[in-house]
Amino acid sequence: MDALSPAADEHSHLVRPAAMEWQPTRFPGCSVKTLLFDARTGLVTALMKFEPGATLPDHEHVQIEQTYVIEGRLLDREGPAAGTACGPGEFIWRGAGSRHSAWMPDGGVTLAMFQIPNKFYDADGGVTDLAGKDWQSVWGHIDNMKAD
């Protein structure tokens, strides 16, 4: 099972990432193993794998984003923190509204946690989620509830 939504009547959910397949994303060289996904709230915890030179393009963290680097170096390629590097065993978090592109020049693996999926700013002006779906139509109602 690649994604697990918490159930109200269960308290522990064991996930075995080593037994899971890496799932490609729409971004070349970036793949994911989703450890937890709650479609009701947008909560996501995932292992992200980057091939050497892979970039997660221009995106905004709608709520707090947390990343622990397991292998490689994660760099902010663009945005206000361009050049910021996070290496193996280091943790970085970004506040709501932060926007950047993430790059792993030598490849690597991270553990990423999001309170709600990122907004990706496409070249055609669209704003989508990781799956390429219109962000507002899929996640806008959740973001509005969190803002209240």
CA distance 44 to 112: 8
The pLDDT of residue 104: 94
pLDDT score, position 2: 42
47 backbone φψ class: left, alpha, beta (φ>0; ψ -120 to 50): beta
Non-local CB neighbours of 42 within 8 Å, separated by 6+ positions? 114, 115, 116, 117, 139, 142, 143
Q: Looking at per-residue confidence, does 147 or 140 come out higher? A: 140
pTM value is 0.84
Which residues fall within 8 angstroms of residue 81, CB to CB, at 6 or more apart? 98, 100
